[in-house]
Amino acid sequence: MSHKLKAYFIIFLFSLCGENIFAQGFCDQPISDKTINTYFEKLALKQMALEFGQEDLVLSGTQQYPVGPDLVRVESFLKFRKPGRENLSTMRIKGWISRCRGTLIIRGNTWLQDGTLAVQRYKNSDLPGDGFVFGDKNSSVHVIAYVDSRCPECHRLIAYMRELVKDKKMYIELRQTAFLETAQEAVQDTQLQLTSKFDDSGQAISEQDYIEMLGGFNSEDKIDANTQAYKKALMMIEKNTRTARHVLYITSVPGVLVMDDKKNNAYRLTSFWEMNRLFQPDL
């Protein structure tokens, strides 16, 4: 079930079960109508900060619309700054609050009453596959990025990544996948078998040279598909692709996970806008 479908299913359960929750006395202290707007704005700003950063976020004109005994739809206007823009933009945002549970569903995410984002988190051990690691481990931002050699957005992301790594602002594991071509074509394009990760001949491409090479597009250099290095590179791309599709349910690339639980080294998937913010922090 997709994340969006899960959110709508939760909303349906809220509205279906609301009367029973109050009738049976399971909700002794529901959120009052007077405080719902303030409550919404507090959690909604947390969501929008993920997408657009902490600065220049202002909510106004908040209104609430009861959907059922437990569920309230809340709408507000947000002033925010898009990456790379000088002027503030305005958009309407809406969410659904459970009076009893205190949860807010907004823009595909669920926020708990204590301000915690309730979302699936993954450790590296949950994500079969491998990639190339760049940057300083002491960087404040740790990400895992699933990319494809024939994806223009992935090349743009890698270009930003190179600068962030150089400035020690990001620690990233770059995982090649085959979303837009076959795994064989992905190896051909990226020449993974020539890197030090797979080639132990002493003449391999260093990881730094490899990331420079990724600044270009498809490679047409001849390739020997019978070597162990090629077979290992092919296996890695196939495993990364399966993980992206069937563990993370990524439907397009780039797909980016950011570490938000450093104590447990756990990652969660980012949204489009959050991804842009992470890779363009100075805009």
- Per-residue confidence in pLDDT tens, the chain, 283 aa: 555 555 555 555 544 454 444 444 557 778 899 999 999 999 999 999 998 888 889 999 999 999 998 999 999 999 988 766 778 899 999 999 999 989 999 998 999 999 999 999 999 999 999 999 999 999 999 999 999 988 999 989 998 998 999 999 999 999 999 999 999 999 988 888 888 888 877 777 777 777 777 766 566 777 888 899 999 999 999 999 999 999 999 999 999 999 999 999 999 999 888 998 899 876 5
Domain limits, the chain: 3-118, 124-279
Superfamily of domain 124-279: Glutaredoxin (3.40.30.10)
Kindly give the residue spans of alpha helices, DSSP state H, lying in the chain. 3-23, 33-52, 152-166, 183-190, 207-213, 228-246, 272-279
Tokens at 165, concatenated: 């790594």
Q: Please state, in angstroms and as integers, the Cα–Cα distance from residue 119 to each residue in 35, 122, 214, 270, following that order.
A: 25, 10, 32, 11
pLDDT for the residue 79: 93
pLDDT for the residue 96: 97
Please, are residues 158 and 211 in contact by the beta-carbon 8 Å criterion? yes
Please, are residues 268 and 120 in contact by the beta-carbon 8 Å criterion? yes
Please, are residues 258 and 278 in contact by the beta-carbon 8 Å criterion? yes
First to last CA, the chain: 35
pLDDT for the residue 135: 93
pLDDT for the residue 216: 60
